[in-house]
Amino acid sequence: MKFKQKTLDNGLTIIGEVNASAVSASVGFFTRTGSRDEMPEVSGVSHFLEHMLFKGTDNLAALEVNEAFDKIGAQFNAFTSWENTVYYAAVLPEYLADVTTLWAKLMRPRLGDDDFNMEKNVIKEEIAMYKDTPQFEVLDQCFSLHFGDHPCGNSVLGTNESIDALTSGQMRDYFNRRYSPGNITVALAGNFEFEKICDLLASACGDWKPQQTDRVRDYFAGTRKKECVVKENLVREHICLISPSVSYQDERVFAASLFGMIVGDDTGSRMFWELVDTAIAETASLQCEAMDGVGVFYSYIRTSPGAADKVMGIVEKIFTDVIKNGVSEDELQKAKNKMLSNITIKNEVPMGRLIELGFNWVYMDKYVAVAEEVKKIKAVTTADVAEIAREFSLMGYSRYSIGPKSR
Amino acid sequence: MTKRTEIFRLSNGMTVIGEPMDSVGSVAFDFFLPAGVSVIPQGLCGVSMVIKDWIFRGAGENSSRKLTDKLDSLGLHRGEKVDSKHIIVGAALEAGNITEALNLYADIILRPRLEADQFDFSKQLALAELEGLNDDPRQKTSLKLREHFYPGPLGRSPLGIKNELESLTAEKTAELIGEYFDISRAIFSIAGKYDFEKICTQIETLFGSEKTKSKSPVFETDYTPGYAYEKYDGAQVHIGLMCPTVGPEHESYYDVRVAVAILSGGMSARLFTEVREKRGLCYAIGAGYKCIKEMAGVSCYAGTTPEKAQETYDVIIAEFGRLVAGISEEELARAKAGLKSALVMQSESSSARSINAGNDYHILGRVRSLDEIKEQIENVTIESVMKFLRENPFEKFTVVTIGSKEIKI
């Protein structure tokens, strides 16, 4: 594996990890923007804009865009979160130049009114779809509850009302402010020639005008609010808990992730043994989500409405115990083994590696080789984990739950 | 050229399939145990879900807790699944830990402890999972579609039926495990970094003394189209539909795959273009090829708000019908490019390779190589697709909708 990096004069950064034995290559345009960068009057614009990039440019119609991707058999998509909008594609190595050129063109979209109005329908269907997916809805609502007035509380999708009210002019304005070359990182992974792709990007993106972009990055430990909402059509209780954690930039991020695994991994964790193994809840998990300047531990639990109080009693006991007593050597070692094995499996596919590579650069402005990551994970001690448990109390949680009846 | 698949048959009939891969550090394996939802006797629907949980609650010399601890210590990325014919248990892991992992899996499969108190937990979890289906109307649509499309036991939902699950006892379930964990009909697949000879020797040692117990069941495959509607007060109407087509063993199999890709392969495919891009009717819309050993079909899902449900359904049906009017050279080229590229990319994942090899062997009695599949896709022409579609048009749909509003079929 060889790492390479180049920054164009306008600030666009290109990074690549070359693996000459891979049978595919992937590219991602990591744009440092998401719902936390939105003002209330444009709620949902980051995600809507992600959809609009597929609608083409002044010289490329929407249908031509889709055909161009499909012609080369690209596996491609995009996603928007609270703080990132990522456009990516994986292709056979011979098509990487084509697909990178295509994305580069799409990053300067037409944003036409007809497409904008038609796509509003699709966005509202997506909002409706997630309303029928309680495990998503409960997480989204709990983020808003936990972060309150902090920008990370902004909804990614927005609401039907905010989408209806949004104008294409507002979207263009948002685009001009956020899609500045200095706010975008192009990451590449797999089998490709770095210099060739750099030349291509220099000519495709060299004339993008830089803009000053900023972001509120204040740390926030959360509101600790609790809300319980009744939704008559549900039969299970869906519970989300969010408490503070380290940011992506914090060097204790591996200790926090291992702590999350020990408390709430799908198998073998404390929540697994107390809640799932005993069939009190059918799902109970907890994980660390390190973000830009902030971070959270979040849990999702699904149980029967009648058992919700019992579940919360057990969860609080687990949390209190781990804060007081820390974790054992044995638990930490198991968590490390699982994490290391996950890394091996994920990184074997260029697409898996791409996301890690891109985010490391976006958040920390640096390259972290897999070997270095492995070393850092192995170095975590039970004292490191105990420190995380004490400093970022799981008991300081905000809770949002939906179910058939209130408790 | 891709490396050749390796196959070894134990004297008792169990098959070992290996898919060697260059430059990976992982290995993935799957045991296909012939105890799927369709093969279990009537009245016990859902027992396979209970079994797949129960067998992990202690095996051989290890208690439930010790067993999970040991599996976790090996860094196993576990996956258990119930399909129509099999309970599939498998994992992906770092290659160095495979020997120890297989020893533990031999205990899980041949010597599960099957303790009665643990059975109650497994049963409660299966019931909770079934109950939870109500809160996931999209998955419910897909299971109901399967139930209505496939006749009799072939359509059974892996999640089971409430009263049948409730009536299960530990004794009956243990008896079924004894009967249906028939090693002589089991398939073991492995992909990634491994030494095939060493694996075969280990599997032979662990499983070789197990004797034949049962015969493969035979199923009715009569198909009747129809419409089923279920009222649900959600935000969307969930539409599922499926029509019969030919299986992977058929000479026109690749013509079907290309036709389905033209309908729904990428974002330029017809369904996405007509339903989402031009009309804004849906966010989620897509069709795919589905098969079990006896039957195959093309299935389609769309989720849309109630007032758009009828139009969505009408446009989908029209697009299925319009295929027979002709396809273009460009569409054919894009469909082929998409299928081939998905194939190559999937080949980089040891987990995907292992499960595909096992499924291929179960359905076809052999494993298709990547080169063979690529060549067959390449051989498809407009004429071959059109000839197939004229003789076997996509029609006679089974339709399922779940939502606040019924549609006209």
- What pLDDT, on a 0 to 100 scale, did the predictor assign at position B198? 97
pLDDT tens digits along A81-138: 999 999 999 999 999 999 999 999 999 999 999 999 999 999 999 999 999 999 999 9
DSSP state of B222: -
B303 contacts: CB under 8 Å, gap ≥ 6: A125, A128, A129, A132, B138, B236, B237, B238, B239, B282, B283, B284
| Averaged pLDDT for residues B15-43 | 94
Chain A interface test: which of B78, B80, B124, B135 (most A C-beta within 10 Å): B135
Rounded distance between C-alpha atoms, residue B187 and residue B34, angstroms = 9
| Averaged pLDDT for residues B117-131 | 97
Contact A274, A318 (CB under 8 A): yes
| Rounded (10°) CA dihedral B220, B225, B226, B228 | 60
Parallel, antiparallel, or unpaired for β A226-230 and A295-303?
Answer: unpaired
- What pLDDT, on a 0 to 100 scale, did the predictor assign at position B211? 77
Q: How many CB pairs under 8 A join A and B?
A: 198
Q: Is the pTM of this model over 0.80?
A: yes
Closest CA to A398 of A90, A143, A31, A106: A143
- Chain-centroid distance of CA B271 in Å reads 23
pLDDT tens digits along B96-106: 999 999 999 99
Q: Under CATH, which number does the domain A2-205 receive?
A: 3.30.830.10
Other C-beta atoms closer than 10 Å to the C-beta of B262 total: 24
* Tokens of residue A298, six digits: 């979040």
C-alpha to C-alpha distances, A219 to A243, B177, B227, nearest whole angstrom:
13, 54, 54
* Tokens of residue B81, six digits: 């699944």
Share of chain B above pLDDT 90, in %: 94
Widest Cα–Cα separation across chain B: 64
Query: DSSP states of B89-107 as a string?
Result: EEEEEEGGGHHHHHHHHHH
Radius of gyration of chain A (CA): 22
Contact B222, B154 (CB under 8 A): no
| Averaged pLDDT for residues B48-76 | 97
Q: Which amino acid, residue A252? A: R
**Partner residue opposite B266 with nearest CB, options A24, A69, A132:** A69
A267 CB neighbours in chain B (<8 A) are: 68, 71-72, 78
Q: Which amino acid, residue B205? A: T
Q: Residue with structure tokens 């690749």?
A: B254
Parallel, antiparallel, or unpaired for β A184-190 and A237-244?
Answer: unpaired
**Partner residue opposite B94 with nearest CB, options A69, A122, A341:** A341
**Partner residue opposite B348 with nearest CB, options A302, A338, A349:** A349
Q: Which amino acid, residue B185? A: R
Chain B interface test: which of A27, A124, A277, A333 (most B C-beta within 10 Å): A277
Rounded distance between C-alpha atoms, residue A329 and residue A211, angstroms = 50
- What pLDDT, on a 0 to 100 scale, did the predictor assign at position B1? 43
Share of chain B above pLDDT 70, in %: 99
Rounded distance between C-alpha atoms, residue A344 and residue A336, angstroms = 12
* Range list for CATH 3.30.830.10 in chain A: 2-205, 226-403
> Could you give the ipTM of this predicted complex?
0.94
Between chains, do A282 and B125 touch, taking CB under 8 Å as contact? yes
* Tokens of residue B307, six digits: 């007032």
Residues B304-307: contacts with CB within 8 Å, 24+ apart? B304/A125, B304/A128, B304/B236, B304/B237, B304/B239, B305/A124, B305/A125, B305/A128, B305/B235, B305/B236, B305/B237, B306/B236, B306/B237, B306/B403, B306/B404, B306/B405
Q: Under CATH, which number does the domain A226-403 receive?
A: 3.30.830.10
- What pLDDT, on a 0 to 100 scale, did the predictor assign at position B380? 98
**Partner residue opposite B337 with nearest CB, options A70, A126, A134:** A70
| Averaged pLDDT for residues A395-401 | 98
